[in-house]
Amino acid sequence: MALIIFDYDGVLADTLDDLIRFGQEACDRLSVKHLVTKDDISNLEVMSFATYGKACEVPENLIDEFVKINLNLFAEKDSPPAIFNGLREVIQKLSANHKIAVVTTNSSQNVHAFLNEHGLDSLVHAVYGVDTPGSKTHKISIARERFVENGEAVFMIGDSLSDIRAAKEAGVISVAVTWGHQSLKTLMQGEPDHVVNYPGELNEVIAK
């Protein structure tokens, strides 16, 4: 039985359009003259709302407010984001034999709303969001300490360079997905242990 840790934005949830739209709204509210584009996200070495704000030229003293506005806009959405095609079935299958967790820079409230919307909340054992103190590496370690008892494998599945680096720092198996927010070229800078191009491939990687 392995522990499988998913990132949220760009791995489970198709949030790119929302990120761009909400980032622009946050900039507008803060009177930051910046046109938000996909490049502001795809080129980040560390994927977080704070670093996203910096890429959008938000002044340091307004970064916390930028983060707060984005999280609130996600929480206020009429419905949670779409799940990437095929992932619901993958998680259902993996959860039958493995422990599932989510580590994200989004809020745990937003993640639980998403999981509930797609009928997955009962299959995920824990969510460590921005409301959980510590780095992504630290949160991976917390999940491992909580759920791994006999040296079982731990997988971190992410769509950003920072996800891959956090997995390496935590000493777990890194899996990069190519359907998320960052390009394969960017992901390969972190030298992931595995690269998957569609959700069904996750079953094969975990089974190895």
pLDDT at 109: 92
DSSP string covering the chain, please?
--EEEE-SBTTTB--HHHHHHHHHHHHHHTT------THHHHT-SS-SHHHHHHHTT--GGGHHHHHHHHHHHHHHSSSPPPBPTTHHHHHHHHTTTSEEEEE-SS-HHHHHHHHHHTT-GGG--EEE-TTS-S-HHHHHHHHHHHH-SS---EEEEESSHHHHHHHHHHT-EEEEESSSSS-HHHHHTT--SEEESSTTHHHHHHH-
Same structural domain, 93 and 136: yes
Same structural domain, 26 and 95: no
Same structural domain, 101 and 192: yes
Final residue before a domain boundary, out of 76, 101, 122:
76
Same structural domain, 29 and 94: no
Residue 124 has pLDDT above 80, yes or no: yes
Same structural domain, 198 and 120: yes
105, 34, 107, 39: which is closest to 73 by C-alpha? 107
Same structural domain, 54 and 112: no
Same structural domain, 126 and 179: yes
For 129-149, the pLDDT digits (tens) are: 999 999 999 999 999 999 998
Interval 148-159 mean pLDDT: 94
pLDDT at 188: 94
pLDDT at 44: 81
183-191 contacts, C-beta under 8 A, 24 or more apart: 183/42, 186/42, 186/43, 186/160, 186/161, 187/159, 187/160, 187/161, 189/161, 190/161, 190/164, 190/165, 191/164
159, 157, 110, 107: which is closest to 129 by C-alpha? 107
Count of domains in the chain? 2
Interval 17-44 mean pLDDT: 93
Residue 207 has pLDDT above 90, yes or no: no
Instruction: Read off the CATH number of the domain in which 143 is found.
Output: 3.40.50.1000
Same structural domain, 179 and 87: yes
Same structural domain, 188 and 87: yes
Final residue before a domain boundary, out of 24, 47, 76:
76
pLDDT at 79: 87
Same structural domain, 51 and 132: no
User: Residues 34, 55, 76, CA angle at the centre, nearest 5°?
Assistant: 75
For 38-92, the pLDDT digits (tens) are: 999 887 878 889 999 999 999 999 999 999 999 999 889 888 899 999 999 999 9
Residue 208 has pLDDT above 80, yes or no: no
Final residue before a domain boundary, out of 56, 76, 96:
76
Interval 175-193 mean pLDDT: 93
Structural domain boundaries enclosing 51: 16-76
DSSP string covering 121-142, please?
GGG--EEE-TTS-S-HHHHHHH
For 106-123, the pLDDT digits (tens) are: 999 999 999 999 999 999
pLDDT at 178: 95
Same structural domain, 96 and 177: yes
Same structural domain, 58 and 144: no
Q: Does this model's pTM top 0.85? A: yes
